[in-house]
Amino acid sequence: MTLMVLGWNTIESHCQQPMSVSSKMSFFRAQSYVNVAFTIGICRLTSSSLSLEAARRERERRNLDAYNQNLERYQQERLQDIHQFFQERQQIRQPQRCFH
């Protein structure tokens, strides 16, 4: 509303003659269309940014899932390496029996 009054005062100050009632109504109607368009634009921007935020969160979730899978695979491989190491060590400790 403040913008409408400021706009109206600016228009009246530049006009030589007072504006007719229909001109005033046209101005306020046009100003209300601008306000509606502005509101729609803000809603679209908000919706767009919410969509971008949801996409970012989904991407982060997928990256975290992939990281966890890689970490789990790495841990399994290290456990297998450790198990194999101790098996080989156990075999070295056992005396070799030769049958003649």
Instruction: Kindly state the helix (H) or strand (E) to which residue 70 belongs, with its residue range.
Output: helix 21-93
Question: Is residue 18, in this structure, part of any structural domain at all?
Answer: no
State pLDDT tens for residues 23-46: 666 767 777 777 777 887 777 778
Tell me the Cα Rg of the chain.
38
Amino acid at 30: A
Nearest alpha-carbon partner for 11 in 1, 38, 23, 29: 23
**Could you tell me if residue 6 is inside a domain?**
no
Question: 89: domain range?
Answer: 54-93
Total domains in the chain come to 1
Angstrom CA distances, 62 to 26, 70, 72, 77, 82, stand at: 54, 12, 15, 23, 30
Residue-wise pLDDT tens digits, 44-94: 778 888 888 888 999 999 999 999 999 999 999 999 999 999 988 888 777
Percent above pLDDT 90 for the chain: 29
